[in-house]
Chain A
Amino acid sequence: MDYLTILQILDSALRLATPLLFACLAGLFSERAGIFDIGLEGKMLIAAFFSAATAYSTGSVWLGMLAGVAASLVLSGIHGLASITFRGNQLISGVAINFLASGLTVLIGLSWFKLGGQTPSLQGDARFQGIDLPFAETLSGVPLLGPLYSEVLSGHTFLVYVALLCVPLTWYVLFRTRFGLRLRAVGENPAAVDTAGISVVGLRYAAVAICGVLCGLAGAYLATGLGASFVKEMTAGRGFIALAALIFAKWRPWYALYATFLFGLLEAVSNRYPSLDLGFVTLPSQFMQALPYILTVVILAGFVGKAIPPRAGGEPYVKER
C-alpha cells in the first residue's frame, strides 16, 4: 500500500463520513435534550428523496437542499408532537418515522418519476460540485503534507465543509452558550430547568428542530453530493451507524467527528478491499460491515470506557407529578 492509496482511502473516508457526521450531530442535539431519536435514518431518507426530486425538477441543488431540510423537519415535527406534546414512547415514534420515510419515498417517487422509486440522475447545477480549496494546486508539490491537503481536504462538495464546521459550532453552542447549557440541563434534569422558569417543551422542540435540519443536510448530501440521484433505501442503515457513532462518542461533538470518521474509514477500506488480508487472518467483508455495530456493543457494554447517556433521555416530561 503506497502513500497515494492511503490518501485515496482517506479522501473517500471523509466523503463517506460526512452524512454520518451530520446525522450524528443531529442525534447529539436531540439526545442531549433528552429526546431519543432512532428515526435519524428515516429523516435522512426522506430528505435525500426530496432534495434529489426538487433539485431535478428545478435544476437547482440549493432549492433541493432546502426541500430536503423541510421534509426532514416535517418528520421531526411528528417526532416532537409524539414525544414532547403527547408524551408518547420516543423509540416507537422513531420506528414509525423510519417506516413512514421508507414507504413514502417509494410511493411518491413512483407517482412522480415512474422510475421504480428512483429519481432521474442529476446533472450540472442540480448537484453539488467539488470546491478546490485555495492553493491546492500550488501546495500539492510540498512533500507529504501537500498531497494530504490537495487530495484529501480539497475538492469536496460544499456540504462536506459545512459538516466539518458544524463540529466546532456544535461544541460552541452546547458548551459555551446559555442556550446550550439549558439544552443539556433539560436532558439531565428537566424539572430543575422548569423550576428556573424556562420552558422544557420549548427547549426540546428547538433541539428536535436542529436535529431535523442536520438530518436534512445529511440526506441532501447523500443524494446530491455523494450520489447523483435518489435510490430506494439509499441511506442503507447510515442513520443507525450514526446512532452507533453517537454512543461511541459518548454524546460529545469532537468525539463525534472522530467516531464518524472512523466508521467512514471502515466503510472506505471495506469498499476498497472486499476481504482484508492482515497476514495472520483474512477478514471477510461482512466482518468489516458489522464492525461499527460490534464496536458500539462493546462500548455500550462498558468494557472499554462506559458510555452514560443523558439522564432524562427517553422520558417524557410531566410538569405535575
Chain B
Amino acid sequence: MEQLPKWADLIVVPLVGLILAFSLSMLMVFATGHDPMDALSLMVKGALGSTYGWGYTLYYATNFIFTGLAVAVAFHASLFNIGGEGQAALGGLGVALVCLFIPWPHWTIALVAATAAAGLFGALWALIPAYLQAKRGSHIVITTIMFNFIAASLLNYVLVNKLRPKGSMDPATAKFPEPAHLPSLGDMLNAVGIPFAKGTPANVTLVVALLACVFVYYLIWRTRLGYQLRAFGESQPAAVYAGINPVKITIITMMISGALAGLMAINNVMGEAERLILGSVEGAGFIGIAVALMGRSHPLGILFAALLFGALYQGGAELGLWTSIPRELVIVIQALVILFTGALDNMVRSIVAKVLVRPKRAEA
C-alpha cells in the first residue's frame, strides 16, 4: 500500500471517511422521502445556530471528550476498551454516593470529591477485565462487553432496591442536595458579561474535560509511562524485551481509561440530571469509540470529533422534534463514521492514496 504523507493520514483520511458517512446517511434521508439539504440545515441550525443549541452541543461534547479519551488511551497501548458504557455507569454510582451521603459546604469541594469518586469507580470497574487480560489472557473486548451488561444489572439492582427513595416508583436516586449543584455554562458566562442561553445542560465539567485533554496529551507524549504505554502498543515482545512489565502496563492503562470514562458521570449525573437515573450513560461510552477513531486518538482530534458528535446529537434531537426524521438517524451516521474511519480505514486510505499519489508520479 502507498505511504501517505502524515498530514493526509491525520486529516484527509478521517475527513473523507466522514464525508462518505454523511453522504450515505443523506442518501438514506432522501430514500425515506425527506429533503437531505433541509435536514442538514436544520441540524446545523439546531446545534450551532443559537447559544441555546451550543449549550446542548457542548454538554454532549463534554461526555464524548471523556469517553473518547478513554478509548484513545487504551488504543495507544493497543487495547480495545469497549466497556466505557459500564465504566461511566459505575462512575455515576460513585458520584451519586458522594453527593447523596456527604454534606458538602460548596460545589467546588463537591466537584473535586465527585471527580475522584467517578474516576475511582470507573477505574475499579476496568480493573477486573484488565487483570484478567494481563494475568489470565482473557480477551479484553469480550470481558469489557460482559462487564457493560453486568454494570447495567448492578445499577438496576442498586437503584431499584437500595438507593430509590421510599414511595418513589422511579428507579432513580433522590435529587442531590443544593450545595452539590454545579454552575451551568450559561451562569458562568453571564457572570462575566457574555450573553449565553440559560437552562442548557452544559456546565463547569466542560473545563474538567479540557483539563483531561491536556492531561492525556502529557501522559501519552511527555511521560515515561506514556512512552512505555506506546511502546507496549507498538510491539509487545519489544516492550517486554526493553524491560517493560506487560501486566503493569495493561492494568495501569485500563485503569486510566476506565477512570476517564467514569469521569463522564460528573457531567451527566452531577451536572445535568442531579440524580442518578437508570441508563444515564445513553450510549456515550460507545460514541467514544467513534470519537477516538475519528480523532486519531489524539486529544486535539478528540476535542474536534467530540464537538462534531455533540453537534450531531443536538442536531439529531432537533430533527426528531421538528420533522418526522427520527433522531436515530444520528446512530446511522455514527455507525457509518465508525465503519469508514475504523473498519474500512484501509479502503478510504487506498482511495485517498490513489488521488494523492498519482499526480506526483505524473510529474516525475
Contact = CB atoms under 8 A, between A and B. Distances in A.
Interface of B: 28, 32-33, 80, 82, 128, 132, 136-139, 141-143, 145-147, 149-150, 153-154, 156-157, 160-161, 286, 289, 293, 324-326, 328-336, 338-339, 342-347
A294 B146 CA distance: 7
Contact of B146 (A81, A99, A297): A297
B343 A103 contact: no
Interface in A282-317: 284, 286-287, 289-290, 293-294, 296-297, 300-302, 309
Contacts of A63: none
Given A95-B338, A237-B149, A103 B328 contact: yes
Contact of B331 (A103, A237, A294): A103
Given A92-B289, A110-B324, A240-B149, A82 B344 contact: yes
A300 B154 contact: no
A98 B145 CA distance: 13
B146 to A, nearest CB: 4
B347 A86 contact: yes
Contacts of B324: 110-111, 114
Interface string A97-116: 11110111011101100100
A86 B346 contact: yes
A308 to B, nearest CB: 9
A93 B156 contact: no
A70 interface: no
B302 to A, nearest CB: 16
Contacts of B128: 297
Contacts of B326: 106-107, 110, 117
A159 interface: no
B342 A88 contact: yes
5 contacts: A78-B339, A89-B342, A110-B32, A117-B328, A294-B146
B152 to A, nearest CB: 8
Highest count of chain A CB atoms <10 Å: which of B153, B325, B345: B153
A61 interface: no
B132 A300 contact: yes
Nearest to A93: B343
A82 B293 CA distance: 15
Given A95-B82, A96-B339, A103-B331, A296 B157 contact: no
Contacts of A301: 132, 136, 138
Nearest to A101: B335
Given A81-B344, A290-B150, A297-B132, A103 B142 contact: no
Given A89-B343, A102-B328, A111 B142 contact: no
Contacts of B347: 81-82, 86, 88
Contacts of B335: 96-100, 102-103
Nearest to B287: A99
A300 B153 contact: no
A243 to B, nearest CB: 7
Contact of B153 (A102, A289, A297): A289
A100 B145 CA distance: 18
Interface in A26-70: 38
A108 B136 CA distance: 44
Q: How many of chain A's residues touch chain B, expressed as a range?
A: 35 or more
Contacts of B336: 96, 100
B340 to A, nearest CB: 9
A244 interface: yes
A158 B128 CA distance: 42
A296 B345 CA distance: 32
A87 interface: yes
Contacts of B28: 104, 107
B153 A286 contact: yes
Contact of A100 (B82, B146, B286, B332): B332
A300 B343 contact: no
A206 interface: no
A237 B148 CA distance: 11
B157 A286 contact: yes
A91 interface: yes
A220 interface: no
Interface string A139-173: 00000000000000000000000000000000000
Nearest to A232: B328
B143 A300 contact: yes
Contacts of B331: 99, 102-103, 106
A96 B328 contact: no
Nearest to B137: A302
A99 B334 contact: yes
A36 to B, nearest CB: 8
A294 B153 CA distance: 11
A97 B361 CA distance: 37
Contacts of A244: 142, 146
A218 to B, nearest CB: 18
A213 to B, nearest CB: 22
B338 to A, nearest CB: 4
Contacts of A309: 139
B328 A290 contact: no
Contacts of B80: 89, 91-92
A145 B356 CA distance: 72
A300 B344 contact: no
A30 B338 CA distance: 21
A95 B82 CA distance: 9
A14 interface: no
Contact of B141 (A38, A81, A83, A237): A38
Contacts of A82: 339, 343-344, 347
Interface in A111-127: 111, 114, 117
A294 B160 CA distance: 20
A82 B342 CA distance: 9
Highest count of chain A CB atoms <10 Å: which of B82, B139, B160: B139
